[in-house]
Structure 1
């Protein structure tokens, strides 16, 4: 007689249960996902800065003929959770197609209006030329960077006739820290 015992059916059933248990726990569906971003910048750009619009509204031609520019429309860039231990200032640059008037943003070619450009300035009236940076100090926490946009005629009447109609322009915001 052999010392070898014949396995009974209950041992096989237990072995099958253990294999199924481990295979179910080892091969489950991906059901827990982690997302995030590590940043090394002193401030976080807030979601409303991702795609902003500045609505300049309806501007009377006579305002441009009388003043050569419109009244400015305020807009704000928001920077969140700033840490002045990492930077004390931010350089803001509005990148875009410069018009024939130095420092002003050209309107898009598909605009109906003609002989105008978009100007940018601080609330104090300091010009912010397109493709040139302007520096703003930072404070700890949230920061509001306020600017104004305006429409300017590309010359004086009667030498330049402004064509009325809709217009648009695009600029990209670039931030660098000091």
Structure 2
């Protein structure tokens, strides 16, 4: 069975910045008969020992403006069986009919955020950058992603995001599409390999 599974990332954002500083103060010492510089070195070493390296952490935990519906948390998008010859026959446009799925956000509080940037995070296909890599027996195809924004279908390369405005009057339904794309070089060389495959991507939500 061919599975394309989407899973939601934790929405709470925690940012951390680590700043480490250290200074070596002893420099430019020349050998001479005046040993007073030794006292200066010892004095500076004592100051250095008394000043440990600093690690400063900054962070913020925020409340999510929306609740992800339970039916959106894990989704299984079935492509079914596809013949590899389909991609050879349609080499000028080697993509399958898109399959629709939705991310549904509920109970949005616009005082906490009026926009959400939705990204799909997964493994980039090495032969077709921007497309989601599949794993399994099959080779030579990747998964393309798209979304609908203001009534227009927009390509959504893997690991990139699209920003949507939120509405608090009803559920926020964000539509997506997934399709299979044949690799041009493998189509030309007739080296697409049949077999089962799976791909996993995760929703990442950033509110603003």
107, 112, 119: which is aligned to 2:137? 112
Q: How does 1:66-85 map to 2 (within 5 A)?
A: 66=90, 67-85=93-111
Where 1:169 maps in the other structure, the secondary structure is strand
Partners of 1:155 and 1:169 lie apart in 2 by 20
Q: With structure 1 as the length reference, what TM-score do the two structures score?
A: 0.72
Indicate the SS of the match to 1:106.
coil
**2:206 equivalent in structure 1:** 176
1:106-163 Cα shifts (integer Å, max 9, x gaps): 002xx12111111100143311111111111211131111000001112152235211
Q: Say if 2:116 is the partner of 1:90.
A: yes
Are residues 1:131 and 2:192 paired? no
Could you tell me how far apart the structure 2 residues matched to 1:121 and 1:55 are?
A: 16
| RMSD of aligned alpha carbons | 1.6
Distance 1:62 1:151 in 2: 13
More strand by proportion, 1 or 2?
Answer: 2
| TM-score, length-scaled by structure 2 | 0.62
Q: Unpaired runs of 5+ in structure 2?
A: 1-61
Corresponding residue for residue 30 of structure 2 = none
**Cα distance per residue 1:13-56 (max 9 Å; x no partner):** xxxxxxxxxxxxxxxxxxxxxxxxxx821100111222211112
Q: Which runs of 5+ in 1 are unaligned?
A: 1-38
2:177 alignment counterpart: 148
Q: Alignment partner for residue 64 of structure 1, among 84, 87, 98?
A: 87
Match of 1:166 in 2: 196
Answering whether residue 150 of structure 2 is matched by residue 122 of structure 1, we say: no
Aligned residue for 2:164, secondary structure, equals strand
Task: Tell which structure's C-alpha radius of gyration is larger.
Answer: 1
- Corresponding pairs, count: 138
